[in-house]
Structure 1
Amino acid sequence: MDNRSTVVSRGVVAGLAAGAAMALWFLLVDGSQGQPFRTPAFLASALLGHDEVVRAAGPVALYTLVHFGLFAALGVGVCWAVSKLPSAPNVLLGLALGFLLFDGVFYLSVVITGVDIVAALGWPAVLVGNLVAGVALMGVLHMFGGAGREPWWTPLSESRVVREGVAAGLVGAGTVALWFLVIDFAQGRPFFTPGALGSALFLGSTDLDSVTINLLTVGGYTVLHVLAFAVVGMIATAIACGAERTPPMLIGGIMLFISFEALFMGVMALVAEFLLGAMAWWTIAAGNILATVGMGWYLLGRHPKLQEMLRRTHLAEV
Structure 2
Amino acid sequence: MTDEEGRRAFSGTIVRGLIAGIIGATVLALWFLVIDASQGQPFRTPAFLAGAVLGRDGVEMTVGAIALYTMIHYGAFVFVGVLVSWLLRQIRTAPSMLLGFVLGFLMFDVVFYTGVSVTGVNVVAELGWPEVLAGNILAGICLMGFLHLTGATPPITWWQVLADHVIIREGILAGLVGAATVAVWFFLFDVIRGQPFFTPGALGSALFLGIQDMADVNTGAATVLGYSVFHVSAFALTGIIASAFVTEAEKRPPLVLAAVLLFVAFEAFFMGFLALIAEFLLGALAWWTIAIGNLLATVSMGYFLWARHPRLQEVLRENPLDRTV
Q: TM-score, normalised by structure 1?
A: 0.72
CA distance in 2, matches of 1:195, 1:102: 21
Does 2:150 align with 1:145? Answer: yes
1:160 to 160, 166, 182: 166
2:175 and 2:76 map into 1 onto residues whose CA distance is 38
Gap change, CA 1:19 and 1:161, over 3 Å in 2 = farther
Shift of 1:119: 3.3
Q: State how 1:273-312 maps to structure 2 within 5 Å.
A: 273-312=279-318
Alignment partner, residue 224 of structure 2? 218
Counterparts of 1:172-251 in structure 2, within 5 Å, are 172-251=178-257
Q: Does 1:253 align with 2:255?
A: no
Matched, 1:95 2:97: no
Within a 5 Å distance, the mapping from 1:10-89 to structure 2 comes to 13-20=23-30, 23=32, 39=45, 42-43=48-49, 45-46=51-52, 51-53=57-59, 63=66, 67=70, 71=74, 74=77, 78=81, 82=85, 85=89, 87=92, 88-89=94-95
| C-alpha deviation, 1:77, in angstroms | 9.2
* Larger deviation, residues 90-99 vs 212-221: 90-99
Distance 1:196 1:38, change over 3 A: farther
- In structure 2, what is the equivalent of residue 34 of structure 1? none
* SS, match of residue 154 in structure 2: coil
User: How far has the Cα of 1:151 moved from its partner?
Assistant: 2.4
1:212 and 1:284 map into 2 onto residues whose CA distance is: 20
Inter-CA distance 296–75: structure 2 relative to 1 (3 Å threshold):
same
Query: What is the Cα deviation at residue 249 of structure 1?
Result: 0.7
Cα gap change, 1:221 to 1:100, in 2 (>3 Å): closer
Give the direction of change, closer, same or farther, for the CA distance of 1:118–1:217 in structure 2 (3 Å limit).
Answer: farther
Paired residues of 1:195 and 1:218 also in contact (CA < 8 A): yes
CA 1:278/1:137 → structure 2, altered by over 3 Å: closer, same or farther? same
**Which secondary structure state, in structure 1, belongs to the residue aligned with residue 250 of structure 2?**
helix
Is the alpha carbon distance of 1:19 and 1:160 closer, same or farther for their aligned partners in structure 2, counting shifts above 3 Å?
farther
Query: What is the CA-CA distance between 1:66 and the residue it aligns to?
Result: 6.7
Q: 1:81 to 1:300 in 2, by over 3 A?
A: closer
Decide whether the 8 Å contact of 1:164 with 1:234 is kept in 2. Answer: yes
How many residue pairs get aligned? The number is 294
**Comparing 76-85 with 284-293, which one deviates more in the overlay?**
76-85
Deviations 1:212-232 (A, max 9, x none): 112332122111111111111
Change (3 A) 1:18 1:182: same
Deviations 1:244-274 (A, max 9, x none): 1111111111111111111111111111111
Secondary structure of the 1:119 match is coil
Percentage identity across paired residues of the two chains: 40
Cα offsets for 1:173-195 (capped at 9, x unmatched): 11101110111111111111111
SS in 2 for 1:247: coil
Which residue does the alignment assign to 2:5? none
Q: 1:121 to 1:310 in 2, by over 3 A?
A: same
Q: Which amino acid aligns with 2:103?
A: L
Residues 75-101 of structure 1 show CA distances to partners (whole Å, capped at 9, x for unaligned) of 699479949947444528973995699
Q: CA RMSD in A?
A: 4.8
My pick for the range that moved more, 279-288 or 294-303, is: 279-288
Moved more, 224-233 or 274-283: 274-283
- CA distance in 1 between counterparts of 2:143 and 2:67 reads 21
CA distance in 1, matches of 2:83, 2:307: 46
Cα distance in 2 between the residues matched to 1:248 and 1:81 = 37
Matched residue of 2:155: which SS?
coil
Cα distance, 1:143 vs. partner? 4.6
Give the corresponding residue for 1:171: 177
In the alignment, which residue of structure 2 is the partner of 1:135? 140
Distance in 1, matches of 2:217 and 2:16, equals 48
Matches of 1:218 and 1:194, distance apart in 2: 5
AA of the residue aligned to 2:150? G
Q: Which moved more, 1:90-99 or 1:240-249?
A: 90-99
Q: 1:80 to 1:290 in 2, by over 3 A?
A: closer
* Separation of aligned partners in 2, 1:94 and 1:207: 30
Q: TM-score, normalised by structure 2?
A: 0.70
What is the CA-CA distance between 1:139 and the residue it aligns to?
Answer: 2.5
